[in-house]
Amino acid sequence: AAPTPDRAGPPHRASRSPTTTPSSPSSPSSSSPHKSAAFLAFLGVSFSAPGPKRIAAALFDRPTDGMSREGQKLDQAGGGGGVGILVLSLDLLGQVLDRLSEPRDRKACRLVSRAFERAEAAHRRALRALRRERLPRLLRAYAALERLDLSACASLDDASLAAAVAGAGLGIRTVCLARASGVGWRGLEALVAACPRLEAVDLSHCVGAGDREVAALAAAAGLRELRLDKCLGVTDMGLAKVVVGCPRLEKLSVKWCREISDIGIDLLAKKCPYLRSLDISYLQVGNGSLKSISSLEKLEELAMVGCSCVDDEGLELLSKGTNSLQEIEQCFLSKLATLKETLTMLKLDGLEVSDSLLQAIGEGCVNLVEIGLSKCTGVTDEGISSLVAQCSHLRTIDLTCCNLITNSALDAIADNCKMVERLRLESCSLINEKGLKRIASCCPNLTEVDLTDCGVNDEALQHLAKCSELLILKLGLCSSISDKGLAFISSNCGKLVELDLYRCSSITDDGLAALASGCKRIKLLNLCYCNKITDSGLGHLASLVELTNLELRCLVRITGIGISSLAIGCKSLIELDLKRCYSVDDAGLWALARYALNLRQLTISYCQVTGLGLCHLLSSLKCLQDIKMVHLSWVSIEGFEMALRAACGRLKKLKMLSGLKTVLSPELLQLLQAYGCRIRWVNKPLVYKDG
C-alpha cells in the first residue's frame, strides 16, 4: 500500500522549516540499518531496505474501505501477521526510533505519525536548537531533554534564554553555550535556577564572559564539567567562586583565561579533590601551580600547552605528586620517565627531538596509544623505527610535516603497529606508493589517513582502497591524482565520510561520478581549485544526500544550473563555499533559498549575484548564521541594506568590504551588533583568479 500520513497527525508538518539539527537519542545511535530492520521485523514489520519512504510504507498502510485505521491496525495485530503501531507503547516506539541510525529515517516516522511524535517527545534526550524564537516551544515539547546545545542559536540573549528554560529545564543536565556572546550573568542565573540537575556547562569562546558570569554558575552545586576556554574576563576571583560553589567539579578547562594565576590554581586544587581532567593551556602560571596540581589524587588528564613559565622543576614536582595522570600534553621532556607507567597519550608538536629521545620514549612509555610529533624537527626513520618497535599499541600516529621520513618509517609502522587507526603524514614528501602499499596490507583498521601535499598518485590510492574501514581521507595538493584514483577509492571505501581533494586539479566530472556512485555516505567534501569540474559534476554530487559541508572555491566552470542541481539533491547542506565561482548567479541563490533550508554558513564572495537574489536568499534561509560576501559587484548599497535587514537577528558572523562601512546605515550596523553579529571588514583588491 502507498504510504499516507497518519490521520491523527497535523497535515502541515511536512512543510515545516527546520528549527533543529538532528541529535542522538538517549540510547546508543551506532546501530546499523540492519539492526533497525531486524528490530522492526521482530515487531512484525517487514521491508526490504531501511529508508524514509520504505519505513513509512511499511509502517503506515492506507486504511481499507469500511474500516477505520484503528480497526485495521487492531485487526492486523490480532491475526493479520503484523503489529499495529497504535497498540505499541511509547517505550516500544521509542526503542524503534533509537534503532534508526539515520536522522532522516527518524524524521520520516515522526512526520507521518503522531504516535511516533509522542514517542520521541517522551524519549528524546538531546537537542541542538538553531532559532531562539522556537526554543520555548521545543523545550516544552521535549520534556525529557537532558542535553541542550545552544551554540548555534543565533542572537541568543539573556531574555530569550530565561524565557526558554523557565519551567522547562528540570531534567536538563548539560548545556552548551559556546560562542553565545549575547548571554550574560542574568541569563546564566536564570539557567541555573531553572535547571536544578545541571552538571555540565560550556561557555567556550564567550570572550565577554567574566567573573560575574562565572559567579552565576557557582550556584549550580552539582556542576561536574565546566569549559571556560577564552573567557577573557575570568580572573582568580571568578575561579574562586566556582571552586567554592562547585566542589564536585571533575572536568575544568580554563584555556586562554590569562588573568588566572597560581593563586587561582592553588585554590582549585584545594577545593576540588574530585578533578579528573584539567586544561590550563596558555595561562601565565608557574611551577607553583604544578605543585598544587600534583596533590589532585584523581587527576588523569592534564593539558598545559604554552605554559612558558613552567620548566623541568615543575614537571618533577608534578611527577612526585599523588595524581593519577594518564594523559599529558606539554612541552617538557626530561622527566618523562617518571610518568612512563601511566602515560597513554603524548603530544610533542613543534619541538626539536632526536632519535635517542624517541627511543627513550619507546622504551619507557610502552602503553602509548597516541603519539603526536606534528612539525617536530629531527624526526627520522631511525627514530620512528625505535619508537614503534616498543609501542605496539599505538592507534594514532601524527607525523605531520616530519619531512625527513621515508618509506622505511612506514615499513616499521606496518610491521609493529598493525592496529593503528589514524595515520597523519601531511607534507611527508619522501614517501610514495611503495610505503603506502605496505601500510594498507598490514593495517586493515585504518580509519583516517592524511596525505596532504605528499605528491601521491593513483597507484597509492589503489593500495589504500584495500582499507575498507576508511572514514577520512585527505589528499589535498596531490596534483597527480586523477579520476582513476577516485574510482579505486569508491570501489571499496563505501564508509568514507570526509574527503579532501583541495587543488587536485586533474579531477574531472567523471571522477565525481565514480565517487558519488561508491561513497554515498560522504558528509564533508573539499573540491577547491579543482577547476575542471563543471555543472555536470555537481549533478553527480546531488545524489550525496548526507553531504553537509562542501567547498567549491574557484570552480570557474560551474554556474547557477549546477548549484540548483546541488541544492535540490543535497538538502542536508550546512556549509557551502562558492568564493570566486564567477559564473554563479541569482539562479543558484534562488535554488539555495528554496531547498538548502539547513544552510548555516555560506561564502558567495565574487559571485555574479544581484541585490534581489541576495535579499531573497537572506530572507529565506532561517538557519543562516555566517555569510561572507566580499566584492559582490552587482549588488547596490540598497541591495545590501535590504538583505541585511531581512536577516537581522539571525546572523552571527558577517564579512564584507570595508568600503561599505561608511555607506551602510549606521542604525543598521548598530542593530546587527546589538543582536550579537560580529562584522569583519576587509580591504581586498578586486583581483580575479582562475585557480
Q: What is the pLDDT of residues 159-174, one digit of tens each?
A: 999 999 998 888 999 9
Q: Which domain holds residue 45?
A: 13-122
Q: What local confidence, expressed as pLDDT, does residue 307 receive? A: 86
Q: What local confidence, expressed as pLDDT, does residue 528 receive? A: 98
| Range in 351-355, 462-466, 576-580 the model is least confident about | 351-355
Q: How far apart are CA 432 and CA 437, in angstroms?
A: 9
Residue 352 maps to a domain: no
Sign, CA dihedral 184-190-193-196, equals: negative
Say how many Å lie between the first and final Cα of the chain, rounded: 52
What's the domain count of the chain?
Answer: 1
Q: 585 has which bridge partners?
A: 608
Q: What is the mean pLDDT of residues 189-198?
A: 95
Q: What local confidence, expressed as pLDDT, does residue 339 receive? A: 57
Q: How high does pLDDT run on average in the chain?
A: 86
Asked if the model's pLDDT at residue 66 lies above 80, the reply is no
pLDDT tier at 398, thresholds 50, 70, 90: very high
| Range in 196-205, 335-344, 470-479 the model is least confident about | 335-344
The predicted-structure confidence for 570-605, as pLDDT tens digits, reads as follows 999 999 999 999 999 999 999 999 999 999 999 999
Residue 55 maps to a domain: yes
| Range in 336-345, 363-372, 646-655 the model is least confident about | 336-345
**Which percentage of the chain shows pLDDT scores above 70?**
84
The predicted-structure confidence for 502-515, as pLDDT tens digits, reads as follows 999 999 999 999 99
Q: What local confidence, expressed as pLDDT, does residue 331 receive? A: 44
Asked if the model's pLDDT at residue 71 lies above 90, the reply is no
Residue 118 maps to a domain: yes
**Which percentage of the chain shows pLDDT scores above 90?**
63
Q: What local confidence, expressed as pLDDT, does residue 27 receive? A: 39
Residue 581 maps to a domain: no
Residue 115 maps to a domain: yes
Asked if the model's pLDDT at residue 526 lies above 50, the reply is yes
- Determine whether 652 is exposed, middle or buried from the number of CB atoms within 10 Å of its CB (0-12, 13-18, 19+): buried
pTM equals 0.76
Q: Within a 10 A sphere around the Cβ of 48, how many other Cβ atoms? A: 8
Classified as helix, coil or strand, 317 is helix
Asked if the model's pLDDT at residue 6 lies above 60, the reply is no
Q: What local confidence, expressed as pLDDT, does residue 329 receive? A: 52
The predicted-structure confidence for 94-140, as pLDDT tens digits, reads as follows 888 888 877 778 778 888 888 888 888 888 889 998 888 889 999 98
Residue 104 maps to a domain: yes
Residue 346 maps to a domain: no
Asked if the model's pLDDT at residue 57 lies above 60, the reply is no
Q: What local confidence, expressed as pLDDT, does residue 78 receive? A: 39
Q: How far apart are CA 406 and CA 429, in angstroms?
A: 8
Q: How far apart are CA 435 and CA 388, in angstroms?
A: 16
Phi, psi of 147 (to 5 degrees): -125, 125
Q: What local confidence, expressed as pLDDT, does residue 673 receive? A: 87
Q: How far apart are CA 582 and CA 288, in angstroms?
A: 58
Q: Phi/psi zone of residue 649: left (φ > 0), alpha (ψ -120 to 50 degrees), beta?
A: left
Q: What is the mean pLDDT of residues 348-363?
A: 89
Q: What local confidence, expressed as pLDDT, does residue 52 receive? A: 47
Q: How far apart are CA 232 and CA 257, in angstroms?
A: 5
Q: What local confidence, expressed as pLDDT, does residue 252 receive? A: 97
Residue 74 maps to a domain: yes
Q: What is the rounded radius of gyration, in angstroms, for the C-alpha atoms of the chain?
A: 28
pLDDT tier at 49, thresholds 50, 70, 90: very low
Q: What local confidence, expressed as pLDDT, does residue 3 receive? A: 40
Q: Within a 10 A sphere around the Cβ of 687, how many other Cβ atoms? A: 8
Q: What is the mean pLDDT of residues 181-194?
A: 94
Q: How far apart are CA 127 and CA 124, in angstroms?
A: 8
Q: What local confidence, expressed as pLDDT, does residue 15 receive? A: 40
Q: What local confidence, expressed as pLDDT, does residue 229 receive? A: 96
